[in-house]
Amino acid sequence: MPYVAVKIDVVRSRKVRNRQELQDLLFRAVDAANDRFRKAIAARFTVTHGDEIQGLLHPSASDHLVPLCEHFVDAVAPQRIRFGVGVGGLATELQPLAIGMDGEAWYRANEAVERARRQRKAFVLEAGPQRHELTRQVTAVVDFLLTHRALWSENQREAVQLLEKLGTQQRVAEQLGISTAAVSKRLAACLWDQYAALRDVAVAWVMRAVGSVG
């Protein structure tokens, strides 16, 4: 049964001046992810080595991978992070917390995050040599989406998050106390319509990549 192992690494973490503040930020991001995505999570996300995060998604929950990555990008902004995702089986028993496990999913996640580090990517997916072309396409699209999202301003990020929560630009405008035109301007500036359309493609490709792993 192919699980989706996710490893997250803080970019240039050694240059962060306030390490305690960074760790607190990561713990808050992890707690929020474990709550928001609890039905999709097979082994809860946890902070490891002080500045790394890892967790495991259920095989049937691959449609949550991209939203999960978006959550972490937003939660730690403006700090940059990279994702290594591995698809495969487990060689040990499933644990409630994502530590103390072994298997193909974790080997591939380790390989993916190392490749993301070497190639300076925000996202890399590894699902085995027989799915190389599909995982290459997924990596290219999701890497672009997350790299672009990390560049959003605080106002743009807030507008997008509220739009996804409230559903309409009018409600976002009322929540923020600004005009609908101002909301539209923020969304246009971060290319929201194009981003959302490409994200739908990315989610479909991720599901296809995970579903093809036997």
- Where residue 81 sits, what CATH number does that domain have? 3.30.70.1230
154-180 average pLDDT score: 97
Question: What is the domain count for the chain?
Answer: 1
Flag whether pLDDT at 39 surpasses 90. Answer: yes
In a domain, 174, yes or no: no
Nearest CA to 2 among 204, 199, 212, 178? Answer: 212
Distance, in Å, from the CA atom of 108 to the CA atom of 112, rounded to the nearest integer, reads 6
Distance, in Å, from the CA atom of 30 to the CA atom of 171, rounded to the nearest integer, reads 29
Three-state helix/strand/coil letters over 13-68: HHHCCCHHHHHHHHHHHHHHHHHHCCCCEEEEEEEECCCEEEEEECHHHHHHHHHH
Flag whether pLDDT at 133 surpasses 90. Answer: no
The DSSP 8-state label assigned to residue 131 in this structure reads G
In a domain, 9, yes or no: yes
In a domain, 156, yes or no: no
Nearest CA to 111 among 88, 92, 80? Answer: 88
Query: Any idea what the Cα angle at residue 164 is, between residues 161 and 167, rounded to 5°?
Result: 130
Distance, in Å, from the CA atom of 54 to the CA atom of 80, rounded to the nearest integer, reads 16
User: Is residue 12 within 8 Å of 115, Cβ to Cβ?
Assistant: no
Q: What pLDDT is attached to residue 213? A: 58
In a domain, 39, yes or no: yes
How high does pLDDT run on average in the chain?
93
Query: Any idea what the Cα angle at residue 139 is, between residues 12 and 84, rounded to 5°?
Result: 45
In a domain, 37, yes or no: yes
Per-residue pLDDT reduced to its tens digit, 63-121: 999 999 999 999 999 999 999 999 999 999 999 899 989 999 999 999 999 999 999 99
Q: What pLDDT is attached to residue 37? A: 98
Distance, in Å, from the CA atom of 155 to the CA atom of 191, rounded to the nearest integer, reads 13
Query: Rounded to the nearest 5°, which phi and psi values hold at 82?
Result: -130, 150
The DSSP 8-state label assigned to residue 86 in this structure reads E
Reported pTM = 0.94
In a domain, 169, yes or no: no
**Domain coverage including residue 127:** 3-131
